[in-house]
A and B are shown apart, each in its own frame.
Chain A
Amino acid sequence: MLKTSVITVTLAISAALQTTAADMTSDSIPAVNLRIDSHSSMLWRETPLSYSNPALKQWMLPISYSTISAGYHSDKSNRPVNVQLGSGNDYWSAGADSYIKHRGSTLWGNASYRNGHIRSVNWNESSDAELIYPYFTADSVGGDMNMESYSFAGGYAGHSGRWAWGGTIGYHAGLYYRNVDPRPRNVTGRLDISAGAAIRIGGGAYYGGLSVNYRKYKQTCDIEFINEMSDNRIWHLTGLGTHYERFEAKGYSHYYDGNRWGTSIGIFPSTRRGAVVSAGFSSFRFDHILTALNKLPLQSARENRLDAEAGWLAPGKTHDWSAMVNLTHGKRSGTENLFGDPAADVFPQIGSLDMYTHTFTAANLNLLWQWHPRSGYLLCVRPSVTYSRSRETYADPHRHLQLASITPAVLIKGALGLGSFWRGELSLRYAMSAPAGCDSDMPIDNTVPAGMQLADINRYDILSKPHSTVEIEADISRAINHRYALMLAIAYRHGSFTTGIQSDYLDISLSLIF
C-alpha cells in the first residue's frame, strides 16, 4: 500500500510539473491557491453536524478540493492519562481525500491507510475503546500494540428545484495485534451508511434537511499466550474497576457486535448566510459475546446520544462572522447478564442487571471572526468556551466517577500569500481546562487486582485537576501550476497536566492538492 501511494504521488507530481510552464503566467494567482484559500476558511468547519446530512454536504465548500497525502504522526506522553487507551501512538499514513463539484452534483470520497503502534496499553486488550467501553477484556501485562487500519468512503449529493438529496457509504477496518505475550489479535470492521434529503423552505432562503444513518460494527478478538509459565489470566471488565469474577480466565475468544441507527433534522441557509439549526439523535447498542463459551452473551450496552448545533453564519466580502452553540448529551447504559450453573460450558441465562451508567454532556460556544482582504490573506480569531461533564456510575458495589470542566480556548490563524506560487499558514491555539465539580467514590476492593482499579482512580486524579494545551500548526504550499500544489504541513501540540504529565503531539504531512 505504501509503495502504491508513493508511486501515485510521484506520478501526479511529475505530471503536474510537466504542465507548469505551459499553464502559468508569473503574475496571476494560480486557481489551486484560491481553492486552498477557500478550504483554509474556518467558516465551513463551524457546522459539522449540518454537513453530516449528505444532502447538505454539497454546500460545505464552494469549490472542489482534493488531496493525496502521506504523513507521519506521533503522540506521546510521559505517563498515560488513561492506561486503557495507552500513552500515545505513532503511525505513518497515506491517503486521498476528494471533494468534487460537477455541475449540480457534488461527489466526495476518501481512502486511507495507517500503520503504526499504540503505546503502553494496559488493562485493555480490546480495540476501539471509545466504542465498546466499559466492557474491555484485559490482562495485567499489556504493552505496545501494533495497528493497521484501512478506510474507504464515498458520497454523492445533488439538487434540483426545491429538493436536494445525498447519500454516503464508508467502511473502516482495523487490525490490532502484539507479537509478544499477551498476544491479542483484534479485527474491527465498521460500515457506515447515511442518506438525506432537504427541501427549500422559508421562501427559498433555507433548506430544511432530514437524514438517517446506520452503522454496523463488529470486533473479533483472540488472546493467546505462548509462554505457558506466565500468568496468562484475563479478566472481562465491567466498568470502574470491577470485573466479571466468574469468567476470569475464560473467554479468550470473544467478539463485540453492534448496530447504530441515527437521524438528524436541521435547517441550513441556502446562501450560507443566516441561521443554522441542527439536531441529531443516535442509538448504539452492542453485545459482548464469549465465543469460547458457546457464544455466551456476557454483556451489552446501549448509548443514546443527542447532538445539536445552532447559530448564525455571516460570511462577507472581507469579513466573516459566526456564532455557534453546540450541545452533546448522551447516556450509555451497560447491562450484565446473569447465568445459572453450566452444563458442558453451556451457561443458561437467568437474568440481567443494569450496572453501569455513563452520562455525558458538553456545551460549547464558538465565536469566529475572519478577515480576508484579498486572495492569499486570512486572519482568523476564534475564541470558545466549553463546559463538559461526564459521570460514570456502577451500581453494586456502588462507585462513581464524575469529571466536569470549563475550558476556555482561543485560536488565532493567519495565512499569507508569498508571491504568486507560495502560500503559508500559521495557527496557534491555547486551551486551559479548569475543573468544575469533580467527584468520585472509588473504594479499593482488596479482592480485585489493584492495577485494574487504579486505571480509573488515576484517570480521575489526572483529569480532575487543571490542564492546558498549546498547539501550533504551520503549513506551506507551492502551486505547481493552476491545478496542482504541494503542501507541507506540521502540527505540534503540547499538553501539560498539573499531575506532571507532559504530552507531545507531532503530525507531519506532505500533500498534493488538486
Chain B
Amino acid sequence: MKLSKFILAAMLFTGTAMQFSSCSDNDTPVVYYPVTLSITLPQEISEANILDEEYAFRNVSTNQVKTFTDKADIELSPGLYDVTYTAHVQLSNGVTSTMRAQSQSVQIKEGANSITLMAYNTIESDDLIIAEVFFTGTTTATGAQHRGDDYIKLYNNTDHVIYADGISIFESNFNTTAKYDYTPDIMGESVAVWAVYTVPGNGTEYPVQPGEYFLIADNAYDHRTTNELSFDLSHAKCEWYDESQAASQQDVDNPAVPNMDKIYCYTRSIYMLANGGNRAVGIARINKDAETFLTENVYDYTYMLVTPAISKEMTGSAYFIPNSCVLDVVNCSTETGYQWNVTSPALDCGWTWCSMNNSDKTRFFTSVRRKMLYLNENGNPVLKDTNNSTDDFNSRVTPSEIELQGTAINADGTKCTTRTYDGVTPMP
C-alpha cells in the first residue's frame, strides 16, 4: 500500500470520527410541544365571569413547576405532569368563588397534546377546619411505638361560634402512596372512607369559640403515665373508642371524656390514624344516623392489581361521604412515596407529610399543622385555608401539644422548648 493512500484513509477516518463525536458543542435543545387544554366548567357556574386563571404543570420526574396564565401559551417538554387549574370567578349573583381542576400523571408526548379537565367550584364551608393532624405518635425511650396519643385538632377560623356536635372525622379508604384505577371512579362526587367517628351532642353541647381549638384524641388520658416521653391528652374534648374483638388489643376509655359515635371502622380491634401518614384525613357533617349511612353509602369497587408476575382484578368495599358534606380534608403522604390525591381537587389540591418514606423511623413526634397567616384584632390566629394542603400546611413539625406541654420531641427525651402558632411561626 502506498503511504499517500494510507494517509488519505487516515484523514477520512478522522473526518468520519469527527462527525460521530460531533464537533459542535451546541447546547441540548429543549423541544416544547403545544398543549391544548380544555376546562369543563361545572353547570352551576358555566355562565360565570372568569376573573383570572392559572395553569400549573408539575413535572413528576423533576418536581419543576411551570405556570401559565394564558392557555394559548402552554408548551411543555415530554414527560409526566400533574396539572392544576385555578380560576377566580364571579358568579351571576356577584359572589366571587375559586374554581379548581386537577389531573395527575398526565402524559405529554411529542407532537400535539390535548387535555380535558373537569373543574369544580371549591367547596367552601363556614365551619371548623383541621388545624393539625398528629398521626405519627410517639415512642418510648427504647424506640418502641407508643399507642393511642394520636390526635386531630380542629379550629374555628371564623368570627362566630360553631358547634362541633355532629362533625365526623374520617380517614380515606385509599392510599396516597399506591395509585390504582378504581372502578367506578366516584372521586368527583365523594370520598371513599374506611373509618368514620362522629362528635356526639344535641347540636349545642360543644361550642367552639372563634380562635378556639377542638381537640379530638385517640385515647384521652395522660399518656405520661404509660410513656414518659408522651404527653397529656386528658383535656381532649372527646375521644374515639373501640370495643375491640381482639383480646390482646383493648382500647383505653377515659370515662371523663366523651366518646365519639362510631359510624364505621374497617378494623374489629382498635383504630389509630395511619401512622405512616399515607391517607387523607377529613371532617364532614354527614347528617345521617349510622344505620342509614351504612345502608345508603356503600361503595363497592374493583381495580387491577398488576405485578411483574400477575395481573389480577381485585374487589373492595368501603363507604363514601359525598363531597358536599365534607368540611375540610388534608391529604397526607410520605415525602418520597406520594403518588396521588385520594380526594377531589374541589376538596384538596395538595398534600402534606411527616414521614420521608414508608419505613422512616424519624417520623415520630412530628405532625402536620395548618399555617398561620396573621393574628386578628382579637389576637387569634387566622389560619390559611385555600384547599391546597401543600400550601396550607407546615409539614413534619413539632406537634402543638408537645410544644404546649414541653414534653419530649424525640426518643432521646429532649424536651421541647419552643412554642409556635403553626410549627414554624414563633409565639412572642
Chain A positions within 8 Å of B, measured between CB atoms, are: 199, 201-203, 205-206, 208, 228-231, 233, 242, 244-246, 248-250, 265-267, 277-281, 283, 294, 304-306, 308, 329-331, 333, 336, 338-344, 346, 350-351, 353-357, 359, 391, 393-398, 400, 447
Contacts and interface: CB of A to CB of B under 8 A. Distances in A.
B28 A354 contact: yes
Interface stretch (B18-26, B192-200, B236-244, B265-273): B18-26
Interface in B35-87: 60-64, 77-80
A281 B1 contact: no
A267 B64 CA distance: 52
A249 B333 CA distance: 14
B7 interface: yes
A304 B63 contact: no
Contacts of A447: 63-64
A233 B336 contact: yes
A294 B308 contact: yes
B28 A393 contact: yes
Given A351-B78, A353-B79, A267 B3 contact: yes
A344 B21 contact: no
A485 B23 CA distance: 49
Contacts of B20: 281, 283, 304, 306
Nearest to B27: A393
A333 B306 CA distance: 34
B207 to A, nearest CB: 43
Contacts of A400: 27
A304 B3 contact: no
Given A338-B78, A395-B30, 20 more contacts: A205-B3, A206-B3, A228-B359, A231-B362, A267-B7, A278-B10, A279-B13, A306-B14, A331-B21, A338-B79, A338-B80, A341-B179, A343-B304, A343-B306, A344-B306, A351-B78, A354-B28, A359-B22, A393-B27, A447-B63
B17 A281 contact: yes
23 contacts: A201-B3, A228-B361, A267-B7, A277-B7, A277-B10, A281-B16, A281-B20, A294-B308, A304-B22, A306-B17, A336-B61, A338-B61, A338-B78, A338-B79, A338-B80, A339-B61, A339-B80, A340-B105, A344-B305, A353-B79, A355-B28, A357-B25, A398-B27
Contact of B28 (A350, A356, A397): A356
Contacts of A244: 61-62
A306 B27 contact: no
Contacts of B304: 343
B333 to A, nearest CB: 13
Nearest to A205: B3
B339 interface: yes
Interface in B362-385: 362
B103 to A, nearest CB: 12
A359 B180 CA distance: 43
A396 B336 CA distance: 22
Contacts of B339: 341-342
Nearest to B77: A396
B112 to A, nearest CB: 15
Contacts of B23: 329
A267 B28 contact: no
Contacts of A344: 305-308
Contacts of B13: 265, 279, 281
A391 B28 contact: no
Given A248-B336, A265-B13, A208 B77 contact: no
A395 B62 contact: no
A340 B10 contact: no
Contacts of B27: 357, 393, 395, 398, 400
B361 A229 contact: yes
Contacts of A342: 179, 339
A209 B418 CA distance: 76
B107 interface: yes
A199 B1 contact: yes
B298 interface: no
B29 interface: yes
Interface string B139-156: 000010000000000000
B356 interface: yes
A333 to B, nearest CB: 8
Contacts of A230: 362
Interface of B: 1-3, 6-7, 9-10, 13-14, 16-18, 20-25, 27-30, 60-64, 77-80, 105, 107, 109-110, 143, 179-180, 304-308, 335-336, 339, 356-357, 359, 361-362, 411
A305 to B, nearest CB: 6
B60 A246 contact: yes
Nearest to B65: A447
A281 B21 contact: yes
B30 A305 contact: no
Contact of B18 (A329, A339, A356): A329
Given A201-B1, A353-B78, A346 B62 contact: no
Nearest to B61: A246
Contacts of A202: 2-3, 6
B336 A357 contact: no
A125 to B, nearest CB: 17
Contacts of B107: 340, 350
Nearest to A202: B3
A457 to B, nearest CB: 18
B1 A305 contact: no
A357 B1 contact: no
Given A202-B3, A233-B336, A329 B21 contact: yes
A243 B14 CA distance: 36
Nearest to A199: B1
B2 A201 contact: yes
A279 B61 CA distance: 40
Contacts of B80: 338-341, 350
Contacts of A346: 306-308
Contacts of B362: 228-231
B359 to A, nearest CB: 8
Contacts of A396: 30, 64, 77
Contacts of B305: 343-344
A231 to B, nearest CB: 7
Contacts of A281: 13, 16-17, 20-21
B21 A351 contact: no
B14, B62, B78, B105 pick with most chain A CB within 10 angstroms: B62
B379 to A, nearest CB: 33
Contacts of B357: 233, 249
A253 to B, nearest CB: 15
Q: Name the residue in A208, A277, A305 with the highest tally of chain B Cβ atoms < 10 Å from its Cβ.
A: A208
A346 B109 CA distance: 20
Contacts of B17: 279-281, 304, 306
Contacts of B2: 201-202
A202 B1 CA distance: 7
Nearest to A360: B25
A267 B6 contact: yes
Nearest to A356: B28
A331 B305 CA distance: 43
A344 B177 CA distance: 11
